[in-house]
Amino acid sequence: MTRTRKPGVSRRATLAMMGAGAVSFATPWVARAQAKTIKVGMPTILSGRVAQLGTSSRNGVMLEVEKVNAAGGLAGRQIEMVIRDSKGQPQEAARVARELVNTDGCEILIDAEASSGAFAVHEVARDLGVLCLHTNSETSALTADPKQHIPNAFRTARQGVHDSIVGGSYAATIAKAKGLKKWATCSPDYAYGRDTTGEYVTYLKRFAPDIEIISESWPKLFQPDYTEVVTKILQAKPQALYSCLWGGDLTSYIDQANIYALFSQMEVFAVNMADYTALTVVKNLPKGIHSGNRYIKTYPATPENAAWGDAYKAKYNEYPTNWSWENATAIMLLAEASKKANSADGKKIAEALRGLKIKSPFGADGTVTMRAEDQTLVGYAIGWGTTIPQEPYVPQVQAGDWKTIFELEAEWKKSKGYA
Amino acid sequence: MTELQAEQGAQALEVPREAKTRRNRDALIALAVFVVLALLPTVFSSKLLLDFVIRCAAYGLFATSLNLLVGYTGLISFGHGMFFGLGAYGFGLMMQKTGVPVPAAFVATLAITLVVALVIGAICVRLKEIYFAFVTLAFQMLIHSTILSWVSLTGGDQGLRGGIPRPPFLGIDLSNQLHLYVASCALLVIGLFLMHQIAQSPFGYTLRMIRDNATRASFIGIDVWRAKLTIFVLAALFASTGGIIMALFVSGAYPEFAYWTISGEGIFINMLGGVTTFLGPMVGTVLLLILNDTVTRLTDYHGLVLGIVILFFAIGLRKGLMDFVVEWYAQRRNGAGERG
């Protein structure tokens, strides 16, 4: 019997496949030619232990992008977000950032990476010259160090040194009033933990020179068991404890320290407590923990902030995080700068961003400013208060004074050789 | 002289000539591959492709050098990533702190790697199997911890910041992506060529013998310890070169480069590509990077997809892709021979 059909792929099938291939290759080009959208790339961490950083950053961004698009977009161009996971690896962050710009045609980058990833994306921005907004890295050096400075990169996040100045002065007041002389610290063992604690102690001693640090603990990042740390602190018998543990680490720490009734034996200052990621997860939130505000919808106590927090909760069924407001601010600033420049061009937006002051639910006085000299965010709400076990969790927040912050920040820059 | 001895003598003369022609052929292939790679950007203007090949060069050198240990010598190193990190940090620091020309920093980085690998290797290669694996892992974590804690030099877990300066030399400007691409291709091709020569040399066959039966090797007068140490150091040098390419690509160095996950990726690449063929790890590299890049584009659950792929190779094929292809090809040829 003769075979009528040869095995393998027929000519007709080959032609069909080639046709399909050509169409699928050509489609993006057609789409791009018609597109009036502006693509904004966003490398962030969407997997692993800190995936919440990525998801809540994404939520914060999308909430604002929808508003901007409804109002006509960036200079008439609708924003299209391209959000991609870097797995928290700096080399992946750099690769993804390059891919977003070079292949996906993104004209602006929102760098929602943490720590080292942000520095990797910063180098990509330096290399490609694309407008880049760092939204999550709070490492002061990213904008304070003149070696890092490039005209196309901005930061719309808090800055470590601001937190330390406000935290230090707040703690010193309490220390003087209550006579807290013996202090202990307990912070995660990596750059953020070490730097933040160091700066905090510096400013605490500056405002209250007679305090002394009698015990230091450096648990590993993501350590599951804190028994040893808790008992060490209890044995040292300090009058006050400072910690910059955050997220899941902070909540496990509190749950475990509660067993030893640690919180009734000393004043505790935990800078990252007043964030819903920690407040809503802790089993028995002790009363009276001093904390800096990260994001809380009752501070600033304005209708705008409360409305923003509620809108977020309504849309995503969870409260915003510190990362959410920082990322939302990036989009708010972009929209305003684009309006001012009447353009969606990265260079023109960058020009308009320098020194730009916008109305913001997260501002200490209802506004935030993109400081021109080092292209970082200032004027955001920053303050400390004490916790209660139920909503609103931190009823009274004492505002930090931005005038003092600016003075001490300038001094700090000089001491570091940055200014 | 007996007839047998004469024949052996003739063979001994024959072998180097054969080896020489093979070396020439390898060199020609390497040159051809390099020319093709170097001409790619003139055909495809995609910057993604250039980035991809640069990363392939970095990981490819790293994974192939790991295969010299795992596949050829039977030394399962869990700490090979330390040399990748060492290369990245050594080169980055040299360029940032001293401002020497790029080639000088390159050579100096390799020299540092050589010394470190000699010290670590001298301790590790005495051990066997699981003990070797774990002591290399321990050294890797030691280097990783050093990078993390020596903040004043390495920047701690923020990595080397501020970019790696790269003054142009001999008309090559590595801050230009195209130049970096061609340089990475050159390093990759030269590296693979050299490693292939090592694998095909009598020394390479000594390594295979050690892998299969170390006791026998030592009984016929081979200094097993020295041979293992030599290949440990050589592999470290190529891994370090991979690290240098990566440092140039991201314009920085990060502690993750020296973390055990990089070693793990190297092992995974070897599993994926196969350890019985020389090009297996290179194929594995291309495969893993394509998988990684496309899957991360499509879904946030890339871990799940990659895990399934590993399971498929480990349980389904029970070998790497190249092993599978080579066997399949051999079977097909045999089958055709029987029928014909």
Q: Which residue in A91, A115, A127 is closest to B246 by CB distance?
A: A91
* Closest CA relative to residue A265, chosen from A219, A292, A231: A231
Structure tokens at A344: 């969606």
**A241-255, B2-16, B93-107, B145-159: least confident range:** B2-16
Per-residue CA distances from A407 to A144, A195, A366, A402 (Å) = 14, 20, 21, 9
Average pLDDT for A202-214: 91
Q: Do A46 and B300 touch (CB under 8 A)?
A: yes
Average pLDDT for B97-118: 92
| Distance of alpha carbon A279 from alpha carbon A289, whole angstroms | 11
pLDDT band at A242 (very low <50, low <70, confident <90, very high): very high
Residue A85 touches chain B, beta carbons under 8 Å: yes
- What is residue B337's predicted lDDT score, i.e. its pLDDT? 55
Q: Which amino acid is at A369?
A: T
pLDDT > 90: what percent of chain B? Answer: 35
Q: Do A98 and B162 touch (CB under 8 A)?
A: no
A300 preceded by cis ω (within 30°)? yes
At residue B302, what are phi and psi to the nearest 5 degrees?
-65, -30
Across A349-367, b (16+ Cβ under 10 Å) vs e yields bbbbbeebebebbbbbebe
By CA distance, what is A102's nearest residue in B?
A: B47
Q: Which residue in A47, A96, A119 is closest to B158 by CB distance?
A: A119
Taking the CA atoms of residue B241, residue B244, residue B246 and residue B250 in that order, the dihedral angle to the nearest 10 degrees is: -170
- What is residue B304's predicted lDDT score, i.e. its pLDDT? 85
Q: Do B55 and A120 touch (CB under 8 A)?
A: no
| Pair A309, A317: CB distance under 8 Å | no
Element (H, E) at A263: none
Q: Which of A91, A126, A149 to mutate to test the interface with B (most CBs of B within 10 A)?
A: A91
| Pair A346, A131: CB distance under 8 Å | yes
Mean of the per-residue pLDDT values of chain A: 87
Q: Do A89 and B256 touch (CB under 8 A)?
A: yes
β-sheet bridge partners, residue A358: A368
Burial of B279 (0-12, 13-18, 19+ CB in 10 A): middle
- Which chain B residues contact residue A90 at CB under 8 A? 159, 250, 252, 254, 256
* Closest CA relative to residue A281, chosen from A306, A315, A246, A326: A246
The domain limits of chain A are 161-298+382-416
Q: Do B158 and A145 touch (CB under 8 A)?
A: no
- Which chain A residues contact residue B162 at CB under 8 A? 145, 147-148
Q: Which residue in A102, A120, A145 is closest to B252 by CB distance?
A: A120
Average pLDDT for B178-202: 92
Q: Any long-range contacts for A313-320 (C-beta under 8 Å, 24+ apart)?
A: A315/A59, A315/A63, A316/A59, A318/A56, A318/A276, A319/A276, A319/A280, A319/A295, A320/A56, A320/A59, A320/A60, A320/A276, A320/A295
- Which chain A residues contact residue B151 at CB under 8 A? 191, 194
Q: How far is A419 from chain B (nearest CA, A)?
A: 17
- Which chain B residues contact residue A103 at CB under 8 A? 46-48
pLDDT band at B15 (very low <50, low <70, confident <90, very high): low
Q: Do B249 and A119 touch (CB under 8 A)?
A: no
Residue A147 touches chain B, beta carbons under 8 Å: yes
Residue A150 touches chain B, beta carbons under 8 Å: no
A15 pLDDT exceeds 60? Answer: no
- What is residue A330's predicted lDDT score, i.e. its pLDDT? 95
Q: Do A116 and B296 touch (CB under 8 A)?
A: no
Q: Which residue in A87, A92, A119 is closest to B252 by CB distance?
A: A119
Structure tokens at A353: 């961003």
Average pLDDT for B44-52: 82
| Pair B285, B273: CB distance under 8 Å | yes
Structure tokens at B323: 């092993």
- What is residue B137's predicted lDDT score, i.e. its pLDDT? 92
By CA distance, what is A149's nearest residue in B?
A: B162
By CA distance, what is B59's nearest residue in A?
A: A91
Rg (CA), chain A: 24
- Which chain B residues contact residue A84 at CB under 8 A? 296-297
Strand pairing category for A383-386 and A290-295? antiparallel
Average pLDDT for A169-197: 89
Q: Do B249 and A94 touch (CB under 8 A)?
A: yes
Chain A residues 153-212 with CB within 8 Å of chain B: 190-191, 194
* Closest CA relative to residue A111, chosen from A137, A150, A80: A137
Structure tokens at A48: 């692993």
By CA distance, what is A116's nearest residue in B?
A: B158
Structure tokens at B104: 């000088």
pLDDT > 90: what percent of chain A? Answer: 56
For the segment(s) A161-298+382-416, the CATH number from 3.30.565.10, 2.60.40.2700, 1.10.3720.10, 3.40.50.2300 is: 3.40.50.2300
Average pLDDT for A144-151: 89
Biggest alpha carbon–alpha carbon distance for chain A: 103
B267-317 pLDDT per residue, tens: 888 888 888 888 889 999 998 888 888 888 787 787 888 888 888 887 877
- What is residue A35's predicted lDDT score, i.e. its pLDDT? 52
Per-residue CA distances from A249 to A47, A198, B276 (Å) = 17, 19, 45
Q: Which amino acid is at A212?
A: E
ipTM (interface predicted TM): 0.77
The more confident residue out of A204 and A36 is: A204
- Which chain B residues contact residue A46 at CB under 8 A? 300
| Pair A190, A196: CB distance under 8 Å | no
Structure tokens at A196: 């933040």
pLDDT band at A410 (very low <50, low <70, confident <90, very high): very high
- What is residue B2's predicted lDDT score, i.e. its pLDDT? 47
Q: Which amino acid is at B139?
A: F
Q: How far is A222 from chain B (nearest CA, A)?
A: 15
Residue A94 touches chain B, beta carbons under 8 Å: yes
| Pair A242, A197: CB distance under 8 Å | yes
- What is residue A21's predicted lDDT score, i.e. its pLDDT? 46
Q: Which residue in B48, B249, B302 is closest to A85 by CB distance?
A: B302
Residue A91 touches chain B, beta carbons under 8 Å: yes
B75 pLDDT exceeds 50? Answer: yes
- Which chain A residues contact residue B295 at CB under 8 A? none
**CB within 8 A of A253, min separation 6: which ones?**
A186, A219, A226, A229, A230, A243, A245
Would the CA dihedral through B217, B223, B229, B233 be positive or negative? Answer: negative
- Which chain A residues contact residue B303 at CB under 8 A? 47
Structure tokens at A212: 């002394």
Q: Which residue in B48, B157, B251 is closest to A115 by CB distance?
A: B157
Q: Do A116 and B158 touch (CB under 8 A)?
A: yes
Q: Any long-range contacts for B121-126 (C-beta under 8 Å, 24+ apart)?
A: B121/B228, B121/B229, B121/B232, B121/B233, B121/B236, B122/B229, B124/B232, B125/B75, B125/B225, B125/B228, B125/B229, B125/B232, B126/B225
Structure tokens at B263: 């070693």
DSSP B276: S
pLDDT band at B14 (very low <50, low <70, confident <90, very high): low
Q: Do A147 and B162 touch (CB under 8 A)?
A: yes
β-sheet bridge partners, residue A84: A43
- What is residue A308's predicted lDDT score, i.e. its pLDDT? 95
Q: Which residue in A91, A126, A191 is closest to B157 by CB distance?
A: A191
- Which chain B residues contact residue A41 at CB under 8 A? none
By CA distance, what is B145's nearest residue in A?
A: A190
CA A174 from chain centre, in angstroms, equals 28
Average pLDDT for B204-229: 90
- What is residue A340's predicted lDDT score, i.e. its pLDDT? 92
CATH no. of B2-258: 1.10.3470
Q: Do B293 and A99 touch (CB under 8 A)?
A: yes
Count Cβ–Cβ pairs < 8 Å, chain A vs chain B.
88
Strands (E), A148-266: 153-155, 182-186, 212-217, 240-243
- What is residue A36's predicted lDDT score, i.e. its pLDDT? 82
At residue A74, what are phi and psi to the nearest 5 degrees?
-85, 110
- Which chain B residues contact residue A102 at CB under 8 A? 46-48, 51
- DSSP-assigned states of every residue in A371-398: ETTTTEEESB--EEEE--SSTTS---EE
- What is residue B87's predicted lDDT score, i.e. its pLDDT? 94
- Which chain B residues contact residue A191 at CB under 8 A? 151, 156-158
Average pLDDT for B253-259: 87
Q: Which residue in B48, B175, B249 is closest to A103 by CB distance?
A: B48
| Pair A233, A184: CB distance under 8 Å | yes
Per-residue CA distances from B321 to A121, B135, B285, B288, B306 (Å) = 34, 29, 11, 12, 15
Q: How far is B41 from chain A (nearest CA, A)?
A: 14
- What is residue A122's predicted lDDT score, i.e. its pLDDT? 92
- Which chain B residues contact residue A115 at CB under 8 A? 157-158
Mean of the per-residue pLDDT values of chain B: 86
